[in-house]
């Protein structure tokens, strides 16, 4: 199996769907978990295994339909997509809804189970919640033979976002995918690299630990490893070609390095002074929000101290607007002129760090 560390979840989902198909019943399941924990991949794998079982004649045939909230321009398009997948018709959302309603309430003897996967369920949310309601109401009809798997990131989405009557229909069959631990991440990377001696095991462990400490996102871990491999490729001439600790370090440093610090370092002298003026004004008042004219007074003092020509108000407003447009500052609309409010959009620690090195 290509999905290490998800055996338990796999079995859970597999048993659920298999049971429903064998019973000829309908049902819903809610799958949650943060990005990059293998939710969609596991479900796809389950479906593939089930299809294999069908081809071996172990279980009756079923039809698999996939919907993703991201594919839809509007939540009600879900009906159109579903109907299209079932019958090949293309109609408006309203008609599609009626046709589906009729289809699922009517008993048909030769109907096979329909397995519907709804990815990114939270995007189907509307104020009246009619789309989610209908998708979850059809499985409760005896004749529908519809199994709905819903996927979203939020663990408590049913309680937080959905109305009581929708939650009641969603039921309690839930599977949560937890972030990977460093051991699991290590295993995943190792599984991908099976048969290759290209990676230093300690380097993999470092990546796994770093990623597990922040998000436990497998995609991220693989990304870092890929980047490290690219670095190793760059200086493959000298060494034996394996990816070692220093390459991983390099990749991690690149990921972690703050772009904002870089941007501040490449700012012009006056812009840097302006940022410094904002920071010292914030320090002076103790409030995060300041007004441009106060900052200008600070700027004047700073310029005099450092021996620069004091910029005019118009020039300073220009500087302020430039810094605002690259989002180092948050500024009010420039209509307010001298009295526009100014806010720092970087932490002051980052700012001092960036300015100190100069």
Tell me whether residue 22 or residue 304 sits nearer to another protein (CB atom).
22
Tell the residue number behind the tokens 């190793």, with chain if given: 232
107 is an interface residue for another protein by CB under 8 A: no
178 is an interface residue for another protein by CB under 8 A: yes
Tell me whether residue 171 or residue 318 sits nearer to another protein (CB atom).
171
Task: Please pick, from the candidates 153, 246, 250, 280, the single residue that binds another protein as defined by CB under 8 A.
Answer: 153
Contact between 216 and 222 (Cβ < 8 Å): no
Stretch that binds another protein, among 223-231, 242-250, 256-264, 303-311 (CB under 8 A): 256-264
Tell me whether residue 5 or residue 299 sits nearer to another protein (CB atom).
5
73 is an interface residue for another protein by CB under 8 A: no
Site for another protein in 282-301 (CB under 8 A): 288
Site for another protein in 22-51 (CB under 8 A): 22-23, 25-26, 32, 34, 45-46, 49
How far is CA 337 from its chain centroid? 39
Tell me whether residue 10 or residue 292 sits nearer to another protein (CB atom).
10
Stretch that binds another protein, among 160-168, 188-196, 230-238, 291-299 (CB under 8 A): 160-168
Distances (CA, A) of 99 to 94, 144, 148: 9, 13, 18
Stretch that binds another protein, among 110-118, 222-230, 251-259, 308-316 (CB under 8 A): 251-259
Listed in sequence order, the residues at least 6 apart from 17 whose beta carbon sits closer than 8 Å to its beta carbon are: 46, 50, 115, 147, 149
Site for another protein in 217-246 (CB under 8 A): none
Stretch that binds another protein, among 93-101, 108-116, 195-203, 312-320 (CB under 8 A): 93-101
Structure tokens at 248: 């991983």
User: Cβ atoms within 10 A of the Cβ of 64, count?
Assistant: 18
Structure tokens at 108: 């048909």
Site for another protein in 306-335 (CB under 8 A): 330
Task: Please pick, from the candidates 238, 259, 305, 357, the single residue that binds another protein as defined by CB under 8 A.
Answer: 259
Distance CA 264, CA 287 (A): 22
CB of 216 to another protein, least distance (A): 5
CB of 315 to another protein, least distance (A): 26
76 is an interface residue for another protein by CB under 8 A: yes
Tell me whether residue 66 or residue 122 sits nearer to another protein (CB atom).
122
Paired with 149 in beta bridges are 29, 117
Site for another protein in 121-150 (CB under 8 A): 128-130, 133-134, 137, 140-142
Listed in sequence order, the residues at least 6 apart from 86 whose beta carbon sits closer than 8 Å to its beta carbon are: 63, 65, 100, 103, 114
In terms of DSSP H, where are the helices of the chain? 7-23, 39-55, 77-87, 93-105, 130-137, 157-161, 164-170, 182-192, 201-214, 218-234, 245-256, 259-265, 269-285, 292-306, 313-325, 348-356
Contact between 298 and 280 (Cβ < 8 Å): yes
354 is an interface residue for another protein by CB under 8 A: no
Q: Checking DSSP bridges between strand 289-291 and strand 341-344, what pairing results, if any?
A: antiparallel
Tell me whether residue 302 or residue 353 sits nearer to another protein (CB atom).
353
Contact between 26 and 169 (Cβ < 8 Å): no
Task: Please pick, from the candidates 6, 14, 17, 228, the single residue that binds another protein as defined by CB under 8 A.
Answer: 14
């Amino acid at each position: 199996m290509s999905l290490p560390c998800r055996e338990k979840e796999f079995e859970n989902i597999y048993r659920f769907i298999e049971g429903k198909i064998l019973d000829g019943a309908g049902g819903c399941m809610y799958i949650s978990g943060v990005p990059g924990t293998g939710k969609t991949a596991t479900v796809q794998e389950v479906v593939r295994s089930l299809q294999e079982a069908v081809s071996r004649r172990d279980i009756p045939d079923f039809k698999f339909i996939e919907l993703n909230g991201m594919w839809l321009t509007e939540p009600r398009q879900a009906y159109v997509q579903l109907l299209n997948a079932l019958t090949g018709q293309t109609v408006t959302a309203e008609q599609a809804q009626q046709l589906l309603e009729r289809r699922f309430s009517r008993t048909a003897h030769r109907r096979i189970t329909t397995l519907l996967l709804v990815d990114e369920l939270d995007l189907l949310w509307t104020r009246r919640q009619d789309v989610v309601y209908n998708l979850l109401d059809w499985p409760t009809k005896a004749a529908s033979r519809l199994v709905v798997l819903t996927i979203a990131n939020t663990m408590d989405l049913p309680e937080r976002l959905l109305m009581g009557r929708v939650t009641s229909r969603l039921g309690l069959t839930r599977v949560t995918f937890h972030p990977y631990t460093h051991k699991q991440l290590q295993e995943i990377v190792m599984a991908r690299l099976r048969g290759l001696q290209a990676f230093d095991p300690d380097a993999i462990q470092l990546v796994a630990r770093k990623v597990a400490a922040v998000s436990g996102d497998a995609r991220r871990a693989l990304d870092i490893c890929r980047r490290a491999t690219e670095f190793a490729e760059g200086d493959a001439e000298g060494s034996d070609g394996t990816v070692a600790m220093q390459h991983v370090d390099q990749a991690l440093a690149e990921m972690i390095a703050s772009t904002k610090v870089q941007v501040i370092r490449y700012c012009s002298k006056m812009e840097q002074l302006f940022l410094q003026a904002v920071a010292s004004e914030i320090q002076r008042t103790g409030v995060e929000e300041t007004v441009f004219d106060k900052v200008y007074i600070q700027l004047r003092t700073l310029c005099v101290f450092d021996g620069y020509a004091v910029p005019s108000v118009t020039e300073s407003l220009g500087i302020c607007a430039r810094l605002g447009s690259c989002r180092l500052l948050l500024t009010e609309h420039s209509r307010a002129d001298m009295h526009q409010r100014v806010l720092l959009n970087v932490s002051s620690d980052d700012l001092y760090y960036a300015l100190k090195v100069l």
